[in-house]
Structure formats: structure tokens, C-alpha cells
Structure 1
Amino acid sequence: MRRLLTGATAVALGVTGTLVMANSGSATADEEIRYIVAYAEGSSAASARAAVRDAGGEIVSENKDIGVATVTAGEGFAAKADASKALVGAAQDRVVAATTPDAARDARKQDVSKVETEFRTGAKGHGPKAPKPKPKGEPLSGLQWDMKQIDAGAANKTERGKGVRVGIMDTGVDGSHPDIAPNFDARLSRNFTTDIPTDANGAAVDGPCEEEADGSCEDAADVDENGHGTHVASTIASPVNGVGISGVAPQADIVNLRVGQDSGYFFLQPSVDALTYAAHNGIDVVNMSYYVDPWLFNCTSHPADSAADQAEQTTIITAMQRALDYAHRRGVTLVAAAGNQAIDYTKPQTDASSPDFASEPGEEPYVRDLLDPESCVSMPTEADGVIAVSATGPSERKSYYSSFGDGFVDVAAPGGDAYDTAEGTRDYAANILAAYPRDLAVAEGAIDPETGEVLVPWAVSDCSSGECSYYQYLQGTSMASPHAAGVAALIVGKYGKHDFSGKTLSADKVEKILRKSATKKACPVPADYTYVRHLPDGSTSTSTHTCEGGEAPNGFYGDGIVNAKAAVGR
């Protein structure tokens, strides 16, 4: 992938430990705002804390491993923090104790994942019929074209990822799902988020706390009210247990490291805290199918950005790279989705979606022309040490929505493409099937709460074991990334050494094997590939993407489509 940043080292704080509560001063405004602050490299902890206090902030928690603090302060804090030599800057998080609206939960989805729900029309009707159980394979394995594409079944004859811990940095994981529970590590799982009722403009985000099942904004570490994280976890490590499907690494441990809101936003503090937690707790692989809000692309000096916005984006880049470096050095393989914007990340772009979250009243997205692709970075996908994964459909073509770029994409993996059909018409079965939380399926009208009957064409049930479990078809680079993460888990299982957590292998070695074992896939001929989609409303959509590079690497597939069998030996 394209390397944009110099690897930052953690500041010399002289202490160990994470998330230490510390008071350093008092906020100066009636309405407090929460900020994430990055300490400048070389600054002592004492001088950085003093700088926070002098700027009018109060430290409420501190990640000492990477020199990042959570601070509450008044509105003038960010400018003062940016001016301090002891601080890199401050990224505004949200207003503390925002007013809760009398409104239903917002259905907003993170842009990296939005195509996954694009085709849900709400039409009634049964989903695809499940194939009859076979002597070998799970009941729904016949619907898993994705596992065949990467030779997962052949790999699982000799390697299934036992002793490997995979961290799911996502919207949560339904630890009670029958096809996740056997591999779910409840002891290590953590929720690093707190539900946000509204944004600064009063728009609903996660919805009122009192509407939660427990009446609280604090969700347990085995809950997923979005479905995205459960789907990702299932693709990686659903067990071979006679239920539903199997994952790429069916004996790996699933560790929920929740960093995403119910609404699909992913913010800075949960991400950095989850990465340092992963480093301390023997997590071998983490999957990151998202970008850090509120900026799709973080620019440090874009002329359209205010000084405060420039400082915020600099803080996001600095804090995330430090956390990623910290985890990478401690053996955590970092895998991320390439994004669903259908753009070439190595070419000039226009970002009209940022900032996508209002952290102060009146804040709205605005247009920025990014003429120099090297000057702005999407985190974590474009960070140093991260494996960027593009998506493929059943025919192995790059999915129509998948972003790409020669030098940006490292490998490709199945992500689904509902229009990868002979006629270019929609077929849900061309997407990726994985676990679907039952409660969410009921809330979304996908199943009848009384009978358990599937009511939509994008969901499937398996009741062969006596207890029904549910699955949904999704598509996106969010679905591609966990396939690569699953293969990475198999690599750790095959070649790793035993340690306190089970198995361990350096992240650099895992990446080397993952890329070298990928099935080489050349650019299409002609390289200007045109996608034709016949949409359900009768219209036709066309788009043309240009693949640069040779057989491998190239802009569509990187070093190739991941191959589980080749990765663990034939």
C-alpha cells in the first residue's frame, strides 16, 4: 500500500499502563466539550499535562502507551492546545451531556459500509433456500462461494487457527449467536464506546439511552445493535459446529474490541484504546472495516480547512499512527478495508463528505478538492503497517464499489458484488453470507418475531440443529477485509510460536506470507473496465475504473486474491 507517514514512536512518558485517570485542571466553560489530545514527541508527561491545564482543560483519562489523553474543556481549548509546543493538537470529540431528542434511532451507516444495505428494498419473500446438509461442510456452506474462491476448505484440512486471537474492531459482536458463541472470548472482549444520543446539531445518532434494552448508553461487550461487527466476526471465525456456515479460521478466538457506535460512526479514542489493549492482551490479528470519523481524508494543511480543523486532522493522524505502530511492534497484524467510494486513492479526488459528524453546532460537510493524493490520508487504511484490502465478486472481478489504486491496495478478497452476474442484474447470493443477530433481524423486519420465518430476500435461516440461527447477505470492502484477516489468523496458527496467549508471529512475517501466497490476478483487458448495472428501478448505471500495473502488483488486486490453502502450505 502507499506509505504516506513516517512511523511515529511513542513519546517518552517514562511510565507504563493504559487509560489512567488523572486530574490536571478545570474546564473553563459552562458547556464542556470532550477532546482527544496528542502529546508532542519528546515532551514529558508532566509538561504535556501542564500544557493541558494551562489551556483550560481537565484530563479525564490518559493512554500513557502512546501519549494520548481525553480532555474536557471549554470552546477555546483547541486553539490553545494547538499553540502549545508540548501538544500536537486536539481533536474535538463531542459535547458532554448533549440533549437527548424525542426521536427514533438513526439508521445512518458508515460510508465504508454503506453499500452493504443499498439493495434492501423491504420486499417480502423468503430468502434463498438453504442447501441440504452434506456429510462434510456446514448446512449453509453451499452458499459460501467466497470460501471456495480463497480455498478456505482445503486450508482447513490442516489448519483452523486454534490458539489464535482475532480482535474485531467494529460495531460489536453478538456473542450469543449460535455460530459465534463457541469461539467468543467473553473474558477478553471489551466495549470502548459509549452511545451518543445526538450530535451537536441535535440530530439523532445512536438514539435516546432510555430506549436501550437496559435503559443505558453503556452496552455490554457481547452486544451488536448494528450487525456489521457480527457479520465480520462470523466471516473470520464461525466454527465448524453443524450450524449455518464456517469462517476462514473456524477455531480462532473471537475477541470483541468494540470501537463503533450503534449508528456506524467510528471515533478516535475508542480506536487508539482498542489497539493498545490488543497489544497488551495477545491479540494476533485485528480487523478494521471502517475509517475514523469525522474525516474521510485527513489533511494537515488543506487551505479550505480552518486552523482548528487542520489541528484536529493532524491529531487523528498522529494518534492513530502511534497506536497502530504500538500494536504492530507487539505482534498484532493490522488488516483494513480499502473503502467503498469506488475511487483510485492514488489520483486527485474531491471529498464532499467531511466532516460527517457535527461535533459543534452548525458544522456541516463541505467540498475539498484533494489535488495531491499524497497530502491527505484516510485512517487507518492508509497508515503505515496496515494491510489494505480491496473487494472481489464471484467472478473474481474487482467489485464495482471497491476503491483501488496501484500502490494503495495490498491484497484483494471476496467482498461481494450483487451485480456480478451474466446480465448485470441484482443477485443477493453474489454477496457475502454471515451471521445476523436475531434481535436486530426482528427490529429490521427481516424475520417474523413469532414464527422466526425469514421475510426478506437478503436473509437466510438455519434451523437444522433445532435452534434457528440467522444470516444476512452484505457486500463491501468491509466484507473483504475479514477474509484477509481470517487467512492471517491461519498463518499465525500454522507458523506461529506458542506464547502466553496461544500463538504469536510477527506482523511483518504474517504480511509477507499473506501477500506472497495470494493468487496473482492481472488487470482486466482492456484496463479501462466498465461496470454495467441494471438497477431494480429499471435504470442502468455505468462506471469505468482504470487498473494500473502488471499481473501483480496492480491497482485492482494488489499482490493478488488471498489464498488460504497456499498460505498454510499444500
Structure 2
Amino acid sequence: MSHLRSRRRLALAVPVVLSLTASLGFLPSTASAAHLTAKATRAADGPNLAYLVNTRTDHHTIASVRKAIEAAGGSVVVTYDRIGVIVVHSANPDFGKRIRAVRGVQSAGASRTAPLSAAGTTDEGAVQVLSKAQEAKLAKSAAAGEEPLEADQWDLRAIGADKAARIDPGSRRVTVGVIDTGVDDTHPDIAPNFSAAQSANCVSGKADTTYGAWRPVDADHYHGTHVAGEIAAARNGTGVAGVAPGVKVASITVAQPDANSLFFPESVVCAFVFAADHGIEVTNNSYYVDPWEYNCMDDPDQRAIVDAVNRAQLYAQRKGTLNVAAAGNSNDDLDSDALVDASSPDDSTPTTRTVDPHECFDVPTQLPGVVTVSATGVKGAKSYYSSYGKGIVDVAAPGGDKFQIPDTPSKNGRILSTLPNGQYGFLQGTSMASPHVAAVAALLKSAHPHATPAQLQALLKAEADNPGCPSDPYDGDGDGVVDATCVGGKRVNGFYGFGIVNALRAVK
């Protein structure tokens, strides 16, 4: 599994219902579809790419643009009328340029750099799978009333989730959507709380609700199953427990089914819209949208990606969905003046570029209204890998840290959760921190069923515990070198935002 190094949040002090398109000055072209001719543009003389075409949302404009797409040599995969996003395939190398000249098109561009015939997540390091013998040995350490493997779940105790479960494990009327690599709903810890009716496969950009389509293609696509268990593994006398073991969890698969597991923007657009339309209250997003680690607004393709995904996640917010996302694993100060991106595009040949953090954005974690989460270890300190930044990170949560050793049977500072095929294993990363926050948000939604996404985010912040910036220089890996500088005070700072979330307070 690969990446997620999220960067600065868009500096938009606006309500979440505002369109990022408008606030960043996307303007419709005054050109007409009549400028396009079908004759040479239909030729397959370029790579067959996926495109995002973002338009005004009136029916007349969308119908007109769809005709222009066909004339420019494109074929429509799906149209999301309510947000004005059209997913298109085209082999015309001039398709993007031509369609951007059409009246009513506000932004358009390729969603990838490699052909469709060619082919991230946020775990830091390889998964550590528990053997059956290790499971049996660990189960002997379980206290009365605990799940068999709970003795190794220091993260539950760190945020009071073990005590919270005795008061209120969460409502089955609340669902967390795991937008990820797929979830193995046959896992005995996930099956009791899984919602098939709210699950789908969005890889193509169009939701496939065929039974089982949401599952991972193989055991190597373990990420989504681990995340789902962290959120809602049942307290059923088997394996582990989730932070919110009474809520439901759904799977919205967006990862390509190959070894790279890339998350392309049309898949993520589909996922946010599906979640919104199927009554999902919270989504967890432990990834950045491929192929660009940062999407720069002076590039028409990357600009279209930001526009399309933002329209989708804002639509979800308007429908009552809170979106939670990981901050990244590069130990970067997300409030810095310049960033180096050496991994983009990750679907072809990456090049090193220096990007302006005020003009180039990690999607979806930096979009307005999205809750950005940093990671902590068992000592409550920032995890050595976790990105940070004052005004960027909203809250923190346990994500694991191999250098912060817990007093548990396995002495493993990572996060223990579910894996495909009935297995369990340890992972660390902001990928693991984000689902802790999503689960606490689900507990809050259970207690306050009429709370809006903005109100839920405010509650997460108000009930968090902020340790404040460390008094000593931060040396996360213990090598004697200062690794990061925390800026801010006890109320809000760059390492923890408003603090580490608290599940016990959420149910009280």
C-alpha cells in the first residue's frame, strides 16, 4: 500500500455550502459548441483517457455540453446533474482543450495521465498479520468483558472508547461510509454491523451496487477492511472491538483493482455522491486523490480535479454527511511556504516539482468543511510520520507509532484491527487516525441525530483533549535530531489542532 501526504487546507473562510468553483474564480467560457466538429476529433489518435467536465447545473447547459462532448470525440460514462460533473472517456488528444472552450463548461481536464488500460492509501509501513497462534496467546490476556484481542488495543483506552461502549456503543441508525479499497463484509467482526444497502463499487466513476461488488479484489487490498474494523468491529466475543461498535459501516470501493490501488478522482466523485444519496452520515477518507499529490490551480487538468471532487463532497455535506480525512504521513509542516512533490503523477512517470501551497492542494483533505486528522501514539505525542500544521489540522487521534511502545501483551505501538479472510493485523498511519475520528463523529451523531456536519465538527473540537505543544524539542524517532516544530497554544496548535478526540465525552 502506498501514499497520502496531505497538504495545506484551502484558505476559504466561507460556509461549506459555498462552491469552491465560485470562490476560486472558475468562469464559464463564452465559446459555443458550434466551434467543435465531430470529423477529426473522433479519431483514436491519442491515449484513451478519463476526463472530468464541470458545468453549470441547469438542464439546458448539461444537455448542450453532452452534445459538445460527443462532437469532440468523447463518450459520457455518467452525468451527475445535481453537481454539474460529467465523467467522460476520450482518445482525442485535444479533447480537454476543445471542451474547455464550450459555453457552460466551467472547468475540464484529464483525471489521469496514463491510458485507461493501464492502471493510495495511508498506512506507514507493511502490515503485520497476527498468526492464529498469536491470536490464541493474546486472547489469554483478555480481561472479563473484553474482546479476545482487546488487550492490544491501547488506542481504545487512549480515547475512552472502551468505557464509552458500556454507556452507548452508537446507534444502528448511523452509518460510516469507508471510501477505500473495499471492505470484507464476511469478516466475523464486521458482518454484524455491515450495511450492504449502502455499499457500492465506484471504481469506474459510476456506482455498481451488484451484491459483493464492494469487497476487496484480494487480500493485498486490506486497507479498507482494517479501517472498517477500527470504526465498527462488533463487541461479539470475537477478535477486536471498534470505537463505535454499535453503528453500521458501509463500503464504497474506489481503489483500482491492481497492485497500485490508485484512487482516481472520478471514483471519489462517485463515492461522495453515492454516500450522500444513500443516507450515510459520516465518510472516512484515508487517501489522497491520484494521480497528483498536489493539484495546482494553474494546470487545467488538476484544476478540474479539485473542482469536481469539491462539488461532490460539498453536495454530501449539504445532504448531511460529515467527511473526515487523514492529514498525511510525510511529517510535513502543512503550514509551510513551499512544498516539494516528487511523486506526481503516480500513474506514469513522476517528476520533482516545487509547489506553492497556496495554489496546489491535496484532495480531499484540504477541501472546505472536511475534518483533517493528525496521528498520535500511545504516549499521546504526535506520531513520528504524521504531517501537521497550525490552522490545517482540525483534530488528532491514535494512528500508531512504532517508537512509542505500549504496555500491552504484544508491545506493539501500531493499531490492531481486522484484515480480509477473518484475519487481524497491525498498521500505523494517519489512515488509522482518521477512522478513529470518523467513529467518534458517529457516536456524536448517535447522541445528536439532528446535528449538521458543521455542528458535528464543532463538537469533535470542543470535546477533544489538547496536550498542547511539547515543552522539549520534538524528536519523534529518537535519533537526536529535531523533526518538527509545534506552533500554537493549549487550545489549538499545529500538532493536534483542537486536540485528541474523546469517545467517552461524545456519549456523555
Q: Shared fold (TM-score greater than 0.5)?
A: yes
Structure 1 residues 140 and 320 mapped into 2: Cα distance closer, same or farther (>3 Å)? same
Q: What SS does the aligned partner of 1:508 have?
A: helix
Q: Secondary structure at the match of 2:462?
A: helix
Measure the CA separation in 1 of the matches of 2:200 and 2:132.
Answer: 37
Q: Name the CA distance, whole Å, in 2 between partners of 1:91 and 1:428.
A: 47
What's the Cα RMSD here? 2.8
Q: Is the 8 A contact 1:224 1:437 kept in 2?
A: no
Report what 1:369 is aligned to: 354
- The corresponding residue for 1:258 is 253
Matched, 1:61 2:78: yes
**TM-score, with length taken from structure 2:** 0.85
Paired with 1:266 and 1:543, the residues of 2 have a C-alpha distance of 34
| Conservation of the 8 A alpha-carbon contact between 1:194 and 1:219 | no
Partner Cα distance (2:190, 2:101) in 1:
48
1:433 maps to 2:410: no
Contact 1:547 1:555 in 2 (8 A): yes
What secondary structure, in the 3-state scheme, does the structure 1 residue paired with 2:70 have? Answer: helix
**Alignment partner, residue 474 of structure 2:** 529
Q: What residue number does 1:115 align with?
A: 124
- 1:414 aligned onto 2:398: yes
Counterpart in the other structure of 1:105: none
2:477 partner SS: strand
Does 2:290 align with 1:283? Answer: no
Question: What is the TM-score with the length of structure 1 in the denominator?
Answer: 0.76
Does residue 489 of structure 1 match 2:447?
no
> Which residue of 1 is the match for residue 318 of structure 2?
329
Counterpart of 1:461 in structure 2 is none
State which of 391, 403, 408 in structure 1 corresponds to 2:387: 403
Structure 2 counterpart of 1:137, from 146, 149, 172: 146
Q: 2:394 & 2:249 partners in 1: Cα distance?
A: 24
Question: Equivalent of 1:8, from 2, 19, 25?
Answer: 19
Checking the alignment, whether the CA contact within 8 Å between 1:189 and 1:222 is kept in structure 2 is: no
Separation of aligned partners in 2, 1:428 and 1:271 = 37
Match of 2:224 in 1: 229
Q: Deviations over 1:3-58 (max 9, x none)?
A: 435731799xxxxxxxxxxxx97833156623222323467212322332343322
Distance 1:394 1:511, change over 3 A: same
- Kindly indicate whether residue 151 of structure 2 is the aligned counterpart of residue 166 of structure 1: no
Other-structure match for 2:30: none
Q: CA deviation at 1:380?
A: 0.4
Change (3 A) 1:386 1:72: same
| 8 Å CA contact retained: 1:28, 1:57 | no
Residue aligning to 1:214: none
Q: State the one-letter code of the partner of 1:336.
A: A
1:40 matched residue in structure 2: 55
Q: Structure 1 residues 299 and 85 mapped into 2: Cα distance closer, same or farther (>3 Å)?
A: farther
The residue identity in structure 2 corresponding to 1:66 is I
Post-superposition shift, 1:92? 3.6
Partner of 1:563: 502
Structure 1 residues 485 and 42, CA gap change in structure 2 (3 angstroms): closer
Find out whether 1:351 has 2:351 as its counterpart.
no
Determine whether 1:181 maps to 2:191.
Answer: yes
**Separation of aligned partners in 2, 1:221 and 1:42:** 29
Residue 35 of structure 1 aligns to a residue whose secondary structure is strand
Of 63-72 and 482-491, the range deviating more from structure 2: 63-72
2:405–2:412 CA contact under 8 A, matched in 1: no
Structure 2 residue matching 1:406: 3-state secondary structure: coil
CA distance in 2 between partners of 1:397 and 1:300 (Å):
35
**Separation in 1 of the partners of 2:444 and 2:380?**
23
Query: What residue number does 1:518 align with?
Result: 464
Q: Deviations over 1:522-567 (max 9, x none)?
A: 00013x412235xxxxxx6855101000012100000000001112
Q: Assess, with a 3 A threshold, how the Cα gap between structure 1 residues 49 and 487 changes in structure 2: closer, same or farther.
A: same
Task: After TM superposition, give the deviation of residue 174 of structure 1 in Å.
Answer: 0.2
CA distance in 1, matches of 2:65, 2:480: 53
Separation in structure 2 between the aligned mates of residue 149 and residue 92 of structure 1, nearest angstrom: 40
Secondary structure at the aligned position of 1:367 is classed as strand
In structure 2, relative to structure 1, the CA distance for the partners of 1:341 and 1:10 (3 Å cut) is closer
- Relative to 1, partners in 2 of residues 1:32 and 1:353: Cα closer, same or farther, differing over 3 Å? closer
Which letter maps to 1:79? Answer: K
- Name the SS for the 1:89 alignment partner: strand
The reply on whether 1:84 has 2:102 as its aligned counterpart is yes
Q: Alpha-carbon deviations, 1:479-501, whole Å to 9, x = none?
A: 0000000000000111114xxxx
Shift of 1:236: 0.2
Shift in Å, 1:223: 3.3
Match in the other structure for 1:394: 378
Aligned to 2:271: 274
Write the distance in 2 (CA, Å) between the matches of 1:9 and 1:532. 38
State the AA in 1 paired with 2:501: V
- Answer with 310-319 or 77-86: which moved more: 77-86
2:230 match: secondary structure = helix
Stretches (4+) displaced over 6 A: 94-97, 122-126
Q: Is contact 2:99–2:108 with CA below 8 Å preserved after alignment? A: yes
In structure 2, distance between residues paired with 1:123 and 1:437: 12
CA distance in 2, matches of 1:55, 1:375: 30
Give 1:127 deviation, angstroms: 4.4
Deviation at 1:96, TM superposition (A): 6.2
Name the structure 2 match of 1:28.
43
2:411, 2:181 → 1: CA distance? 23
Q: Kindly tell me: are residues 61 and 161 of structure 1, through their superposed partners in 2, closer, same or farther at Cα, counting changes over 3 Å?
A: same
Equivalence for 2:33? none
Q: For residue 170 of structure 1, report the CA deviation from its aligned partner.
A: 0.4
AA matched with 1:77: F
Partner of 1:312, secondary structure, is helix
1:192 matched to which residue of 2? Answer: 202
Secondary structure of the residue aligned to 2:138 is coil
Q: 2:166 — aligned with what?
A: 157
Q: Decide whether the 8 Å contact of 1:186 with 1:222 is kept in 2.
A: no
Name the aligned partner's letter for residue 390 of structure 1. S
| Contact map agreement 1:10 1:41 (CA 8 A) in 2 | no
Which 5+ residue runs of structure 1 have no aligned equivalent? Answer: 12-23, 101-109, 196-217, 302-309, 359-363, 439-468, 498-504, 534-539
- Point out where structure 2 has 5 or more consecutive residues left out of the alignment: 1-7, 23-36, 206-210
Are 1:173 and 1:224, in contact at CA under 8 Å, matched by a contact in 2?
A: no
Q: SS of the residue aligned with 1:116?
A: coil
Distance in 2, Cα, partners of 1:507 & 1:431: 30
Q: Partners of 1:3 and 1:139 in 2: how far apart? A: 43
Percent of pairs identical after alignment? 39
Shift of residue 123, structure 1, vs aligned partner: 12
